[in-house]
Amino acid sequence: MENNKSLEAYGYQPFFANQDTEGYSIGRVALEHKHLYRIYTEDGEWLGELSGKTRYEAVRREDYPAVGDWVKMTKLLGEQRAIIHGVLERKSKFSRKATGPTTEEQIVATNVDRVFLVMALNRDFNVRRLERYLVLAYESGAAPEIVLTKKDLCEDLEARLREVETIAFGVPVYSVNSLADDGIEQIAASLRPGETIALLGSSGAGKSTLLNSLYGGQRQKTGGVRDGDDRGKHTTTHRELVVLPSGALIIDTPGMRELQLWEGSESMGAAFHDVEELAAGCRYTDCRHKQEPDCMIRSSLADGTLSQERLTSYIKLQKELAYNERKIDAGAARAEKERWKKIHKRMRDNSNH
C-alpha cells in the first residue's frame, strides 16, 4: 500500500466529511483482528486499538469498529499506532444474525455502495438462498448486483438467468468465468474510483477468484471444490478492504455457510414486491390466502404467475424476521439497561474523586 493517498481514494464522501471530527485524525478500517485494526489514512497504514473510554462505553457489537468503518483517532507519532475514539455514522451496514443460539448481530461490512451477491452456477446454485441475500442487501442500504460465477460448469445458462430474473427484478446480473476472465470486463468497466463494493456469497462461490480477476493478479488465496457436492473450500478467513488498481475498493468476506436474517422488514417489500403487490390486490386487507374469495395470491398460484416455492420462501422469511424481532427487542432492552449501569457507575466514580 503506497503512502500519501487522499481520504477520497479510500471512499471518503461528503456524508462522512460533514460529521464532527474536530481534533481527530480520520482513517478507514481495512482489517480487524481481535480488537486491533489496520487503518488506511492519508499518510499510510496505522495499527489502531480502542481507547479505554470507547471500549468501556461499547455495549453492542455495532458500537465497535468494523471493516469499512471510518474512525476518529489520535496517532501515536513514531510508532505507527493509533488510539480509536469513535466510529463515524455509517452510510450503510450489511448485518446478519450471528451463528449460534443467541440473537446477536454480526456486522459483515459497512459503508458499502454496491453489494455483489456471488453465486456459483454449479450444483450449489440456489435461488431461495439468493432471495435471502437480496433481503439483507436491500436492508443494508447498498445497491445489490448479482454475479453468477463458474458459468463454464453450467449446462443451461439461459435457464439459470431466467430463474434469477424472476426473483431479482431490475437488479443487474453478470455471468462470469473468473478463471478465464470471461465476462469480467463488463464488471470491471462498471467500477469507479473511491466506491466500495462488498463481495458476499457462500463458501466456494468464487468471490476470491473474482477479486483476483478484478485486481489483475493473485491477491487472494483460492481453493478448489469438494468432491461430491460442488461446495467450495473455505479460503477467505477474514474480512478485508482491498484497493483495486482501478481505484475502486472491495471488501472480500468469508463464505457464509449459514445466513440468518438480522433485520429486514422494510426490505421484504423490495425483495418480494411481486408477492406484496399481489397481496395488496386481495379483496380483504387481512386475507390469509387460504379460502377467502378474490384472493390474488391463490389465483396467481393457479395460473402460474406466482410459484408455490417463492410464496413459501416469502412466508418463511417473514416468520424468521418476526421471531428475530421479538428476540432483538428483548436484547436491546438488556443492552440499554447495561449501558445505563455503566453511565451511573462512571458518574459515581467521578463524584468520589
CATH number of the domain at 301, please. 1.10.40.50
Query: Mean pLDDT across the chain, nearest whole number?
Result: 82
| Closest among 264, 205, 276, 270 to 235, alpha carbons compared | 205
150 is known to lie in a ligand binding site: yes
How many domains does one find in the chain? Answer: 3
* Boundary residue ending a domain (51, 72, 87): 87
Q: Give residue 225's pLDDT.
A: 44
Q: Give residue 58's pLDDT.
A: 85
- Counting residues of the chain whose pLDDT is more than 70, the rounded percentage is 78
353 located within any domain: no
The one-letter amino acid code at 32 reads E
How far apart (Å, rounded) are the C-alpha atoms in residues 12 and 6?
9
208 is known to lie in a ligand binding site: yes
Q: Give residue 266's pLDDT.
A: 65
80 located within any domain: yes
232 is known to lie in a ligand binding site: no
On the question of pLDDT at 344 being above 60, the answer is no
337 is known to lie in a ligand binding site: no
* SS3 labels along 31-80: EEECCEEEEEECCEEEEEEECHHHHHHCCCHHHCCCCCCEEEEEEECCCC
The one-letter amino acid code at 182 reads D
205 is known to lie in a ligand binding site: yes
Q: Give residue 150's pLDDT.
A: 92
221-254 pLDDT, tens digit per residue, is 544 444 444 444 444 457 889 999 999 999 987 7
C-alpha cell of 322? 418476526
Helix extents (H) in the chain: 14-17, 52-57, 127-140, 157-165, 184-190, 207-215, 268-271, 273-280, 296-303, 308-351
- Indicate if 245 and 140 belong to the same structural domain: yes
- Indicate if 215 and 320 belong to the same structural domain: no
2 located within any domain: no
313 is known to lie in a ligand binding site: no
142-176 pLDDT, tens digit per residue, is 899 999 999 998 889 999 999 999 999 889 999 99
- Indicate if 123 and 74 belong to the same structural domain: no
78 located within any domain: yes
CATH number of the domain at 102, please. 3.40.50.300
Do 232 and 118 form a contact (C-beta atoms < 8 A)? no
- Indicate if 98 and 244 belong to the same structural domain: yes
204 is known to lie in a ligand binding site: yes
C-alpha cell of 242? 482491498
* Boundary residue ending a domain (87, 116, 140): 87
- Indicate if 109 and 208 belong to the same structural domain: yes
100 is known to lie in a ligand binding site: no
349 located within any domain: no
- Indicate if 13 and 147 belong to the same structural domain: no
233 is known to lie in a ligand binding site: no
Which sign does the torsion angle of CA 122, 128, 130, 136 carry? negative
217 is known to lie in a ligand binding site: no
Q: How confident is the model at residue 1 (pLDDT cuts 50, 70, 90)?
A: very low
How far apart (Å, rounded) are the C-alpha atoms in residues 202 and 148?
12
| Closest among 261, 250, 209, 259 to 233, alpha carbons compared | 209
**Phi, psi (deg, nearest 5) at residue 115:** -115, 120
* Boundary residue ending a domain (252, 287, 321): 252
- Indicate if 120 and 153 belong to the same structural domain: yes
- Indicate if 69 and 102 belong to the same structural domain: no
Structural domain boundaries, residue 143: 93-252
209 is known to lie in a ligand binding site: yes
With residues binned 3-state (H G I as helix, E B as strand, rest as coil), the percentages for the chain, rounded to 5, are 35, 25, 40
